[in-house]
Structure 1
Amino acid sequence: MSVLTASGITVRPVTGGRAILEDAAIEVRPGEVHALVGPNGAGKSTMFAVLAGDVSPESGFVSIDGRPLDAMRPRDLARIRTVLLQENTVSFPFSAEEVVRMGRAPWARTPLEADDDAVVTASMRATEVAELAHRSVSSLSGGERARVALARALAQSTPILLLDEPTAALDLRHHEDVMRLLRASADAGTAVAVVLHDLNAALAHADRLTLLASGRVIATGSPAQVLTAERIAQVYGQRVEVFPHPTTGVPLVVAQR
């Protein structure tokens, strides 16, 4: 189990100007789903890229279990954290199974390589893409490609899972299926960080939540503590009502119309 920590993160555009992120911090813990939410342009995807090691901040520190991210070799990093981007373009006619199998690449020439077939099969079944195994990824719908990409991420089998809007292209059932898979991964000990636009999904499935706006962390805590009607109105510029679901008691966000 591993803890991913970022503190004092400031990122500016290459051309200079106002910071995209300023003095931002987050801690992604084992056994938790940590959602990053905020309006467009809040800095969510930049924070995600910093956590993944794809963007180097101007200042601040990113570490896994106290070890600086930029001191880790790419192969070692690939065995600790998995990154699922919002866009997953495949330029060659790989089959769905071949794409999922790519997730096992970090474990090549290790004892865990023996688990490849079983892990790939389990990941494809969990995301309901087993029947697409021999289909070319380029022939799949956007939602099908998104589920294949998620299967690849799950097949990588790392203690940290980072996902940027994994439900954006999915219908209602598959949206809920993905969130349940993330919940199950966290319950098994994985540290899960996920960028979400759906505030109700964050309230229903996340353990912790970081709300960003204009490049700054506005609040971090339990979803119910962070996503109050007053704070949502302040950050999103939209008045809402927040009330408990009549059956589950989980808070619901509804825009005032």
Structure 2
Amino acid sequence: MQTEKVVDFIVNWLKDYATKAGVNGFVIGVSGGIDSAVTSTLCAKTGLNVLCIEMPIHQAASHVTRAQEHIKHLSARYDNVSDTRTDLTPVFEAFKTEVFFDGDQATVDMALANTRARLRMTSLYYYAGLYKLLVAGTGNKVEDFGVGFYTKYGDGGVDLSPIADLLKSEVYKLGAFLEVPESIMNAAPSDGLFGDTRSDEDQIGASYPELEWAMQMDEAGKTESDFTAREKEVFIIYKRYNSSNKHKMIAIPICDIPDNLM
């Protein structure tokens, strides 16, 4: 990958899209992870206004520290970057008092985790409307089109996706080029939706390098019978997520009414 040229291409794409849309810039949720760090830096390089928002909900201390470090680092480098903090913990707790809990604990925990992501999406769009900004997505190719590891209408609810055609390994290459803080470069990827330090690998059961391999094998037409041992296990994990999350990766189905019924 020609990293510098890819960076320039994305920055120009972002700037052109925003200019044609007639907006002032971008708003982005900064989590302390590599994807939001790279995306916010790319947005900053456009020279347009960039609002970075920290939105903790019972967040692990390490995530908060990394997010704050990145925002400070980015603001020092780009004078078009501003930031704010919206503590959504009270909102989340208030929400929990108004709903009922039905089902096993794992199902309830997942529903609440997705609710966190959707509260953040709502906050981003509030500020986007307030300052005439576009919500920049932080999903990479493996998350968005491989395993669907994101929340529908949560972190998947965005206006544009600057790094969605890049594999996780390629996002890291951009991160190194863009001088993202080492603490973020070295941190285990995590969605931060459970209020603890569990990583994406803990949840999925496979690392991003393994998932990238499985995605490439799937695109090459391989099946689980082509592999043994750990490779077979990873491929099955990838296919399971890819199948169950397919509804996130395709357009919303529309019931087309036959002409003879109209």
Q: Give the structure with the larger strand fraction.
A: 1
Note whether the superposition's TM-score is higher than 0.5. no
Higher RCO structure (Cα 8 Å, ≥6 apart): 1
Q: Give the structure with the larger helix fraction.
A: 2
Give TM-score scaled by structure 2 length.
0.30
